[in-house]
Amino acid sequence: MDRILRGIMRYRVLDRASMVKQFEQVRDNPVPKAIFYSCMDSRMIPTRFTETSVGDMFVVRNAGNLVPHSQAFVDEMTSCEPAGLELSCVLNDVKHIIVCGHSDCKAMNLLYKLKSDKESSIEQRRISPLKSWLCTHGKSSLDKFLDVKGNFDKPIVFSAETPQRKFVAYIDPENNFCIEDKLSQVNTLQQLQNIASYGMLKKRLERHDLHIHALWFDIYTGDIYYFSRRAKRFLIIDESSYEIILAEIRRYYS
């Protein structure tokens, strides 16, 4: 707490005045352009590595950047992730949903271990809210990952904005990342499929008025990757790829 309090005192001296000016600019009517789902990992600071500011986007964070499939909820059971979709996409009309996974994700590392029956047993899940969360809402990602049987030269097919619209992904074709990071990338793409399952988004997705994107952050290099449906893989965002990725987004989502 001493570290946090000292940080607040520095904020008051260095940043408070400029932030207040930003709050005054958006006042009571901010116009965010996106909702950003990321992991709650302490190394992930999405507003910093996207250079976004006050009022630019909604941010939802949880263990594993999961967005539960709509089938997970019955009657009045829900959670903050779909509530965030409604708040941003239905009530505030944002046009972009972004899911961002990352390397060395502790939640994904644990999900990989949960492929063991011992680790995912009912007894374990009863005493671990984290294991229960991952087993319930990460199972589809793990199943899709295990279907490859370690052969990542094989393409993985995901549903996109509609059940009829699909995309193909090749996971880490250069084999730069460990097995758990490959699972993290599969999991990030699976969330796009989960998001599209919500009926409240159906009409906007069908008329291309709402767009879903996947990013992936390498915490060791600071590099950020964008999933290109044209390239069928995650592409590093840098000076050489920026215009190519931007052109794809404009063409694909126009």
pLDDT in tens, 66-101: 999 999 887 667 789 999 999 999 999 999 999 999
Looking at residue 119, what is its pLDDT?
Answer: 62
Query: In terms of CATH architecture, what is 31-252?
Result: 3-Layer(aba) Sandwich (3.40)
Which of helix, strand or coil describes residue 114? coil
Task: List the structure tokens of 168.
Answer: 């193909």
Report yes or no: 65 and 129 within 8 Å, Cβ to Cβ.
Answer: no
- Averaged pLDDT, 37-43: 97
- Backbone angles phi and psi of 235, in degrees to 5: -110, 135
pLDDT at 254 exceeding the cut of 70 = no
pLDDT at 61 exceeding the cut of 70 = yes
Tell me the pLDDT band of 27, cut-offs 50, 70 and 90.
confident
Question: What residues contact 86, with CB distance under 8 A and at least 6 apart?
Answer: 200
pLDDT at 118 exceeding the cut of 70 = no
Place of tokens 């271990």: 113
pTM as predicted = 0.92
Mean predicted lDDT score pLDDT of the chain: 92
Report yes or no: 187 and 108 within 8 Å, Cβ to Cβ.
Answer: yes
